């Protein structure tokens, strides 16, 4: 799993350097300007802010005497994460286009400690790392042809589509464990041993962004997108009647090469 | 110009590589399970040999060839299963064939179902392997003994005899690893003749091929290797 992640990151890094080298090798000339509807290939990275939705199921960490008890989303608090990967944009014309993003997402979902019985249980935290594929359509609100010849704001766009979880890489759960029926809880850490409990998460993703020319073919992109999960994190075959899921807001920056 | 471009690209590349090396979620060896009562596990044995079923490292049952059974669990917490084909004994009491033990990991499904076939095997190193069993029909005049994967890394020399006018038993067949160089060598016990079947042989009736007939799907049985 880690090897796949490193290969993807190395590809991203190599692509960034190759695009940069390409840009510097040829001095910009009128004939060498990028097309206003040219395909863009780039890399993208950014931070996530996550929020849990619905009830997190009771889990047992290790040899815990009992489960953590179902946890309402009212205990939920903002979590964090990040994602990075390759970014492809295929403009149909100067107004609309399609974007595809392939990458790795790490999301940490957090809950506040449950109070009661004279003590606080350790806070729950779920960390999930997944391979993601996002497919979306982009509509340009602003399109500045002149900026394609050099530096400056080229497009401002709205985007909407789907963010698909295509594979689980790693997971980690932090929360309370109980030695026996009378003992107080102690903080424990564990992991689901395999990807069996997890569904392939599907989220509707909508947002807005801008692309800035850096001179010639190189472009910088800035994007904010909200992903609204459409299905539960855990399969109904592993836990009864549970629809726990989480949404996220991604703030991303990218560097691309426009042909 | 060159410097400016590199100054732009190198930090971003470095960020990607840094994320890959340091950003991996650190998994714990402590197992997390749901606080749910697991109901049952069903095993469907597609092999032509019995298999040992393990639950939490203890033998749960021996499942005969081509049989399916469901075992109740009715408890919470981690439950781990494994399985292993049981090889027959040869004439000197040694195991004839391989017995790879495949760990199925922790069961998370409330009612899980596993198909045990010739393609769902893992060897000692945890590598996925395919196993097969040669279907030998001995119409010759002498008994023959079975040697599989002769002069390859997966070579198994047995004293498993296939008597004349008999075939390999289809309820306790010996299994071997299937690789690109797989072959079957049948040596006459009281003679000097031997019969070689390889995957690359183009002569009709001499080629070693898995039987894709749906009736024996997943069994890993080869097409008949006829000695006459």
Please list the rounded mean pLDDT of every run of 10 residues in chain A (259 residues).
Answer: 55 55 52 82 95 95 90 93 95 95 96 76 93 96 91 95 94 92 86 94 97 91 97 94 95 93
Among chain B residues, CA nearest to A83:
B19
B11 pLDDT higher than 70: no
More confident residue, B130 or B21: B130
Q: Report the pLDDT value the prediction gives residue A118, as an integer from 0 to 100.
A: 62
Q: From chain A, pick out residues whose CB is under 8 angstroms from the CB of B111.
A: 237
Q: Report the pLDDT value the prediction gives residue A1, as an integer from 0 to 100.
A: 46
Among chain B residues, CA nearest to A188:
B30
Contact B24 A62 (CB under 8 A): no
What is the Cα–Cα distance from B182 to B180, expressed in whole angstroms?
6
CA atoms within 13 A on the CB side of A87: 24
Contact B27 A2 (CB under 8 A): no
Q: From chain B, pick out residues whose CB is under 8 angstroms from the CB of A124.
A: none
Q: The tokens of B194 are what?
A: 């031997």
Contact B28 A172 (CB under 8 A): yes
For the segment B144-172, what is each residue's pLDDT rounded down to a tens digit?
999 999 999 999 999 999 988 777 777 89
Among chain A residues, CA nearest to B109:
A238
Contact B30 A190 (CB under 8 A): yes
**Candidates A20, A68, A185, partner chain B, best to mutate (most B CBs within 10 A):** A20
Contact B109 A19 (CB under 8 A): no
Put simply, whether the predicted model's pTM sits higher than 0.80 gets the answer yes
For the segment B19-62, what is each residue's pLDDT rounded down to a tens digit?
665 567 889 999 999 999 999 999 999 999 999 999 999 999 99
Tell me the percentage of chain B whose pLDDT exceeds 70: 90
Q: Report the pLDDT value the prediction gives residue B171, as an integer from 0 to 100.
A: 87
β-pairing verdict for A125-143 and A202-214? unpaired
β-pairing verdict for B80-85 and B51-55? antiparallel
Count of CB atoms within 10 A of residue A222's CB? 15
Of the candidates A159, A47, A161, the residue with the CA atom closest to the CA atom of residue A105: A47
């Amino acid at each position: 799993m880690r090897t796949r992640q490193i290969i993807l990151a190395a590809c991203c890094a190599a692509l960034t350097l190759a695009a940069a080298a390409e840009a510097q090798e040829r001095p910009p000339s009128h004939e060498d300007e990028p097309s206003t509807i040219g395909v863009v290939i780039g890399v993208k990275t950014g931070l996530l802010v996550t929020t849990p939705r619905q009830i997190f199921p009771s889990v047992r960490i290790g040899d815990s005497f009992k489960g953590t008890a179902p946890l309402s989303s009212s205990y939920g608090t903002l979590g964090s994460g990040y994602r990075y990967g390759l970014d492809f944009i295929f403009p149909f014309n100067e107004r609309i286009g399609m974007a595809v993003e392939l990458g790795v997402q790490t999301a940490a979902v957090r809950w506040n400690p449950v109070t009661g019985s004279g003590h606080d249980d350790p806070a729950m935290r779920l960390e999930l790392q997944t391979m993601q594929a996002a497919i979306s359509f982009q509509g340009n609100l602003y399109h500045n042809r002149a900026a394609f010849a050099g530096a400056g704001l080229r497009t401002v766009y709205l985007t909407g589509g789907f963010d698909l979880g295509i594979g689980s890489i790693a997971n980690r759960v932090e929360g309370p464990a109980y030695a026996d029926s009378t003992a107080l809880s102690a903080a424990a850490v564990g992991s689901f041993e395999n990807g069996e409990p997890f569904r392939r998460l599907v989220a509707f993703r909508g947002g807005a962004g801008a692309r800035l020319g850096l001179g010639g073919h190189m472009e910088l992109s800035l994007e904010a997108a909200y992903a609204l999960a459409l299905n539960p994190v855990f399969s109904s075959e592993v836990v009864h009647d549970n629809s726990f899921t989480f949404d996220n807001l991604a703030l991303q920056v990218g560097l691309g090469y426009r042909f | 110009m060159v410097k400016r471009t590199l100054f732009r690209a190198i930090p971003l590349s470095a960020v990607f590589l840094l994320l890959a090396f340091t950003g991996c979620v650190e998994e714990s060896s402590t197992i997390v399970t749901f606080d749910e009562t697991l109901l049952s596990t069903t095993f469907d044995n597609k092999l032509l040999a019995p298999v040992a079923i393990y639950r939490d490292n203890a033998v749960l049952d021996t499942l005969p060839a081509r049989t399916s059974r469901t075992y109740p669990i009715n408890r919470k917490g981690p439950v781990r299963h494994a399985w292993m084909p049981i090889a027959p004994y040869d004439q000197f009491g040694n195991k004839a064939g391989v017995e790879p033990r495949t760990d199925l990991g922790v069961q998370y499904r409330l009612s899980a179902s596993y198909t045990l076939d010739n393609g769902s095997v893992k060897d000692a190193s945890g590598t996925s392997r395919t196993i097969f069993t040669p279907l030998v029909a001995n119409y010759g005049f002498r008994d023959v003994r079975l040697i599989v994967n002769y002069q390859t890394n997966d070579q198994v020399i047995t004293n498993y005899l296939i008597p004349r006018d008999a075939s390999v038993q289809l309820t306790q067949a010996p299994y071997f690893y299937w690789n690109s160089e797989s072959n079957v060598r049948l040596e006459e016990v009281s003679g000097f003749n031997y019969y070689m079947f390889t995957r690359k042989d183009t002569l009709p009736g001499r080629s070693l091929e898995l039987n894709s007939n749906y009736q024996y799907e997943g069994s890993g049985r080869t097409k008949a290797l006829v000695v006459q």
